[in-house]
Amino acid sequence: MEVEEQDEQGAVWTVMATGIGPLLLAATRKGLVNVVFHATDAVRDRALDRLASRLGVRPVEAPGSPLLTEAVAQVEAYFAGRRRDFDLPLDWSLISGFNRRVLRELASGVPCGSVVGYGDLAHRVGQPGAAQAVGAAMGANPLPVVVPCHRVVESGGGMGGFGGGLETKRKLLALEGVLPEPLF
């Protein structure tokens, strides 16, 4: 199938190697719609099944698709240390309501090299006291790395949780200069 024909399908995906393991990137005509950590075959297949059910169309593997080209380039530059933040069209259709508000604030208001507490982020979206709900929004983030949920930490200095695993969170924060690189 030609790339143009695949793009007409409505959703495309690829898996790319990164410093934190394979990432699945999926996009629609609206923009990047999903990033999935640890995209081994089994994880990838489950993610694609979920996407097909949520989008109403089965994403097609298309690593050379124009829908993915800029996202792949920016993710590569980020992991190479040449890019600090992302400037991509995003398809927010997999998230809504409070979670969407929190993630949009995170994407626009917490730059690379900084972190924010769960409670602080709740306050920013006008819901003081909703720190646990912010944690749930981070866990529901369909666009990790690009929408930097790894930058959200506990107010007491703890790492907090992370869907990609705490070691992945540590690596991302070290890449951004928030934490020192591990010695070994």
CA distance 30 to 89: 7
Q: Which residue in the list 106, 122, 125, 149 is annotated as catalytic?
A: 149
- Catalytic site includes residue 112: no
CB 47 within 8 A of CB 34: yes
Q: What is the DSSP string of 113-182?
A: T--EEHHHHHHHTT-TT-HHHHHHHHHT-SSTTTS-GGGEE-TTS-----TT-HHHHHHHHHHTTSSPPP
Distance CA 146, CA 61 (A): 20
Check: CB of residue 104 under 8 Å from CB of residue 146. no
Tell me how crowded residue 60 is: count the other CB atoms within 10 A of its CB: 19
Q: Strand pairing partners for 27?
A: 12, 32
Q: Just list the catalytic residues.
A: 149
